Amino acid sequence: MNSLIALVIVVALALLMMRYLIVLYNKIVALRNYVEKSFANIDVLLKQRADEIPELIKVAEKVMVHQGEVFTQLAQLRSRYLSSRQSEEKVQVANQTDELFRQIFMLAENYPELKAIHHLTALQQRISLLENSIADRQEFFNQSVMLYNIGIQVFPNIVLAKLLGYQKRSLLKYH
């Protein structure tokens, strides 16, 4: 009888431990999925911005003929972005693209005939709206990353996270 009670207690404790580990695992997975979802939301906007590049090149290239190298770089960055798989690489390429956009828009100020092209102004406004949306989503992404990082670094979560290979994620540093 005593051995039966001991067996029941051991089984009950094992089941409680399994349940606890399952809840812990599900929490870590949910945090990771929030991070991935929030980056996917940013990725959509970055892709939309990348899709504006050919149009920008087409409009501005007509007037800014001797600035061809900038447009070549922009086209190369677009290709790199679209072929990137890692979020860190995508952000790096997006930051480089952002810098080139700034250069192009500063150069456009030196070409009055470009200012007269309504299409370029509309394009600048669309890109600016995308930039604002990216900034809004960046805040949500960084908050998700912070919660994920805390979630995998506190005890006892850290034990399970290490066993499963979960690693700390970096905050998004997008200009």
Where do the domains of the chain lie?
2-164
What is the CATH superfamily name and number for domain 2-164?
LemA-like domain (1.20.1440.20)
Tens place of pLDDT per residue across the chain (175 aa)? 788 888 889 999 999 999 999 999 999 999 999 999 998 988 888 888 888 877 777 766 665 655 667 777 877 887 888 788 887 788 788 888 888 777 777 776 776 665 656 666 777 788 888 888 888 888 889 999 999 999 999 998 899 899 889 999 888 876 6
Q: What is the DSSP letter of 96?
A: H
pTM score of the predicted model: 0.68
**Closest C-alpha to 102, from 64, 62, 74:** 74
Q: Indicate the angle between helix axes 157-164 and 2-61, nearest 10 degrees.
A: 60
Give yes or no for a contact between 152 and 166, defined as CB atoms under 8 angstroms apart.
yes
Question: Is-contact 74 83, C-beta < 8 A?
Answer: no
36, 51, 71, 79, 172 from 87: Cα distances, Å: 9, 18, 24, 15, 9
